[in-house]
Amino acid sequence: METMTKEKQKVENKKSVKMTGAKAIVECLIAEGVDLLYGYPGGTIMPVYDEFYKYQDKLHHVLTRHEQGAIHAAQGYARVSGKVGVAIATSGPGATNLITGITDAQIDSTPIVCITGQVGSHLLGSDAFQETDIVSISTPVTKWNYQITKVSEIPEVLAKAFYIARSGRPGPVLIDVTKDAQFDELDFEYIKCEKIRSYTPIPQMDIAQVKAAAELINKAKKPFIIFGQGVVLANAEEELKSLIEKADIPAASTLLGLSALPTDHDFNMGMVGMHGHYAPNVLTNDCDVLIAIGMRFDDRVTGNLETYAKQAKVIHFDIDPSEIDKNVKTDVAVLGTVKETLLELLPLIHSNTNKEWHHKFIDLHKIEYEKIIHPQTNPTSDKLTMAEVINLINKETKGDAIIASDVGQNQMFASRYANFNRSRSVVTSGGLGTMGFCLPASIGAKMGAPEREVVAIIGDGGFQMTIQELGTILQTKVPVKIVVLNNEFLGMVRQWQEMFFDKRYASTVMTNPDFIKIVEGYGIEAKKVDKREDLKDAVAKMIASKDSYFLEVIVEKEGNVFPMIPTGATVSDIRLK
């Protein structure tokens, strides 16, 4: 009798409910644990928005001021929360306005589900009003996409979308839904997707490769670790730290991996790459075993591949088989989530000491500190520097803030000088380098981690690319701290023009508006600083504020970011001036 009752309950639980496709989409989102999403309404997605209106107690929709703002906000939310970000838009220009953010999410492995409306299925291919083939457009920059033309497809397709976005190496998924599919009815039943035939998100770990990696590490005299965002995505921060400490290995980060290891950890040697730290770049070409963990050997990290780490045995830990040997030839490849592979590796690793090798890093860091870091953070000129602004933010936040940054000099100064005590503290556009990313992404980051301070570091150029998202802050009252480092230039392009184009500043001089008036027009407290004696108190007031706050700092016009690896140069040719 008891067995029959249980079977009867199973059948009753599986009973479907009749509803429209629009309502089904909302029910799918709720079933996937979504309680916050970003978007902008329009004609072909209006049925779904009508359902949002009825579900306000369960689902919070944030109206951004542009679809690009919606996708970047979803990215910021996903980066700090570890959840899937959701963005929604109408067809045509609404959908195409998502493409930059989708591309950004694809390159930076950010889990996003985008839902776009589409004209009725009978109008497809007719060049109807606001019809665009967004599936074809987005195919190269999504992990998966699909167009729903029949209402019955909605539950299964959305379940797959969330599974694909979050599983394995995360990424963006786009689902396009015709308007008739939103209006039509179905017998709704939602079953979460846990497996897709022919899709293997996590490759099988090869224990022999783990053992081979351990053998190389144990024999190494000058081992060096470069870790990336894969450590954060796999929640492998403790495993990374254990490996570093047990084997006494100096380590450095990629841009997106920065907060995986606390900045002040004794073995954290800084950041590699074009504007990374001096010691880890130079000594990449001196180590005997290079251990890459959850990073992809991007060209901004490697410089000239013909001269990159040729003396070293290379071990590559990664979840994505396509990254192995793509840029750098690997001697040992360990596939799988880096948390699982590092857990398998750790018992095989011998305790070790590499004092002389560590001292090489320390000696080179002293050179960088004396020539670059100290002069930037303690300038003798009356002109304010970006580095000293970041340094003061460090002191006020004690390294516990989430630092969002835009792209350009502001990004490099933020990544070089900000302190990160906690993981998931870096929100920036890595592989695509999207100007305008920071302001909307910082909004999403604050909503994804409301208990944490979020400071947005932006240049005057990037700020104006998505300045309209101040309206989102006005409407939501999200307390983001915004710092615009204003040098009245497109700073990074200007630096290249100075160094490689004989100071021909073609189209990089910025004539800016009165930012304070604009920001105050959005109801945000604002202050402008151009003198050193006013800077400390201004930063302290900003961080202490319980509301959103805008601080504009007038910095030196022709300040440069150093060290720098010129394009085409080797990492060991990094320039200090």
- Going from the C-alpha of 498 to that of each of 74, 274, 317, 505, the distances in angstroms are 36, 17, 39, 7
Local confidence band at 3 (pLDDT 50, 70, 90 cut-offs)? very low
Of 23, 143, 160, 179, catalytic: 179
pLDDT value of position 423: 98
Which residue among 46, 83, 130, 527 is the active-site one?
130
Among this protein's residues, is 179 annotated catalytic? yes
d(CA 142, CA 138): 6
67 catalytic per annotation? yes
Longest dimension (CA), the chain: 88
Count CB neighbours of 190 within 10 A.
17
- Say how far apart CA 458 and CA 480 lie, in whole Å: 13
Is residue 12 scored above 80 in pLDDT? no
Instruction: Please say if the pLDDT value at position 192 is more than 60.
Output: yes
492 is catalytic: yes
Residue 44 has pLDDT above 50, yes or no: yes
- Is residue 472 a contact partner of residue 69, using CB atoms and an 8 Å limit? yes
The pTM is what? 0.95
132 φψ region: left (φ > 0), alpha (ψ -120 to 50), beta (else): beta
Cβ within 8 Å of residue 4, ≥6 positions away: none
CA–CA separation, 375 and 432 (whole Å): 31
Place of tokens 């670059």: 372
Please, which pLDDT band fits residue 239 given cuts at 50, 70 and 90? Answer: very high
The tens digit of pLDDT for each residue in 105-161 reads: 999 999 999 999 999 999 999 999 999 999 999 999 999 999 999 999 999 999 999
Is the model's pLDDT at 386 over the cut of 50?
yes
- The H-or-E segment that residue 182 falls in is helix 179-183
Q: Kindly state the percentage of the chain with pLDDT values over 90.
A: 97
User: What is the percentage of the chain residues whose pLDDT exceeds 70?
Assistant: 97
Local confidence band at 487 (pLDDT 50, 70, 90 cut-offs): very high
> What does the alpha-carbon distance between residue 524 and residue 514 come to, in Å, rounded to a whole number?
14
pLDDT in the model for residue 4: 38
Task: Exactly one of 51, 67, 344, 368 is catalytic; name it.
Answer: 67
Residue 14's pLDDT is: 52
Q: Amino acid identity of 40?
A: Y
* pLDDT(11) > 80: no
Residues 24-39, mean pLDDT to the nearest whole number: 98
pLDDT-derived band of residue 568, with 50, 70 and 90 as boundaries? confident
Structure confidence by residue, pLDDT tens digits, 431-446: 999 999 999 999 999 9
Q: Is a pLDDT exceeding 70 seen at residue 329?
A: yes
Mean pLDDT (whole number) for 388-408: 97
Mean pLDDT of all residues in 556-560: 96
What are phi and psi for residue 558, nearest 5 degrees? Answer: -115, 40
pLDDT confidence bin for 411, thresholds 50/70/90 = very high
Angle, helices 207-219 vs 338-345, to 10°: value is 60
pLDDT at 168: 98
Helix, strand counts (H, E) of the chain: 25, 20
* Catalytic option among 129, 183, 500, 501: 129
Q: For residue 360, indicate whether it is catalytic.
A: no
Q: Tell me if residue 23 is catalytic.
A: no
SS (H, E, C) 489-545: ECHHHHHHHHHHCCCCCCCCECCCCCHHHHHHHCCCEEEEECCHHHHHHHHHHHHHC
Give 346-350's long-range contacts (Cβ < 8 A, gap of 24+).
Answer: 346/239, 346/242, 346/243, 346/246, 348/210, 348/211, 348/214, 348/218, 349/214, 349/217, 349/218, 349/243, 349/246, 349/247, 350/218, 350/247
The pLDDT-based confidence of 567 (bands split at 50, 70, 90) is confident
Which element (helix H / strand E) includes 116? strand 112-118
The per-residue pLDDT of the chain, averaged, comes to 96
CA-angle at 109, arms to 334 and 164, nearest 5°: 90
Distance of CA 13 to the CA centre of its chain: 39
Distance of CA 375 to the CA centre of its chain: 30
- pLDDT of 6 strictly over 80: no
> Helix, strand, or coil here: 198?
coil
524-556 pLDDT, tens per residue?
999 999 999 999 999 999 999 999 999 999 999
pLDDT of residue 81 exceeding 80, the answer is yes
**Active-site annotation holder among 19, 271, 386, 492:** 492
